[in-house]
Structure 1
Amino acid sequence: MLSALRDGGYVIYLRHDLSDTSRSDAEPIDLTDCAKQRPLSDAGRVHAGKIGVAFKALHVPVDQVLTSPVCRASETAKLAFPDLQPKSPPALVYTLALPKEELGHAADELRKMLANPPPVQSNTVLVGHTTNLKEATGLWPKYEGGALVFRPDGHGSFEPVGSIDPAAFEQAAAD
């Protein structure tokens, strides 16, 4: 799947990298205070960097990176794609941090993002959480630091076309 991304045309939904499960998010989540959120682990920081190395090694073009404002997601985006300035649209805010009445709107917005074709010969990366994608598509990115890949059809829809296991990023970065 990683090699297929070279030609562009995909939206890649990357789950934030490995987090430190010994810490929990404060209730409610304070998006302005990383000290009150579950952070990336040291291994997650290293792996996030390897994602970027894999993209460069395989010549996978990325036009833009959109990320959740939750610190573990935004840090993943910055470590994996340091040359791009990530944006944080409301649709990627951790859905567990949203009031229930906003969940449907966030899911609708995320579906629009997945259906939005990237510029020709490029890809768009979304860095988020399992719950957001589950709410929008019913799909669950199983592993932290893994990705699901979607192909927008240019007519307001999209289809899932594959997944990338975290180990595939490791292998590509090592080659």
Structure 2
Amino acid sequence: MRYIIALVLCLPTGLWANNWDALRAPDAIAIMRHALAPGGGDPTNHTIGDCTTQRNLSDQGRAQARRIGQALRAQKITFDMVYTSQWCRTSETARLLEYGSPRKAPALNSFFGNPALRAPQTRDLRAQLERTEGLNIWVTHQVNISALTGTGTSSGEIIVFRLTPDGTEILGRIMIDP
């Protein structure tokens, strides 16, 4: 006699499913961590505007960014504007999403190498988010997303949230592939 044992793992939907409807919610804001870029941080002598001095997207990261853009368009998601930090890996990710020319926003720049910038830069980013209308996507770095939303992200992951008087409310997450 054969016995078949099945193990069913029940997880809340938000832990594994992309929440596309979150992008359609009133006041939704999409913030994305740049696509795959091997390593961590940047060399101490990096220069904004000189990609040869920075950590950059890998071929896998470039392909990931393209797939994310394709998946967003397949869901008929449109953005009024794409904002990016001045770092090469975020700018390239934003460009590869293929939603038009990204606009540089210094408030999205990484402060990984200078933690003293966390509070003032996060205040600046929040102020910019409060002034901006429509559905936009903001391509930035893990430290910025964590400081603003209180949650971590994987490379290429999109956090959808709204601003609240006390901080932020996470509406959903979208992760096309690791």
TM-score higher than 0.5 here? yes
Answering whether residue 91 of structure 2 is matched by residue 71 of structure 1, we say no
Q: 1:87 aligns with which of 80, 103, 113?
A: 103
TM-score (norm 1): 0.79
- What is the Cα deviation at residue 116 of structure 1? 4.9
Provide the aligned C-alpha RMSD in A. Answer: 2.5
Distance 1:75 1:8, change over 3 A: farther
> Equivalences for 1:143-162 in 2 at 5 Å?
143-152=154-163, 158-162=168-172
Q: Which runs of 5+ in 2 are unaligned?
A: 1-18
Answering whether residue 136 of structure 2 is matched by residue 118 of structure 1, we say no
Aligned-residue sequence identity (percent) comes to 32
Number of matched residues?
160
Answering whether residue 157 of structure 2 is matched by residue 139 of structure 1, we say no
Q: Distance in 1 between matches of 2:25 and 2:41?
A: 39
Distance 1:99 1:161, change over 3 A: closer
Q: Look up the match of 1:17.
A: 35
Aligned to 2:137, what secondary structure does the other structure show?
strand
Distance 1:157 1:131, change over 3 A: closer
- What is the Cα deviation at residue 28 of structure 1? 3.8
Distance 1:158 1:136, change over 3 A: closer
**Contact residue 94 and residue 132 of structure 1 kept, 8 A:** yes
Distance 1:8 1:50, change over 3 A: farther
Answering whether residue 121 of structure 2 is matched by residue 106 of structure 1, we say yes
Q: Distance in 1 between matches of 2:142 and 2:31?
A: 10
Q: Distance in 2 between matches of 1:162 and 1:7?
A: 10
Give the aligned residue type for 2:174: I
Q: Which runs of 5+ in 1 are unaligned?
A: 171-175
Give the aligned residue type for 1:104: A
Aligned to 1:32, what secondary structure does the other structure show?
coil
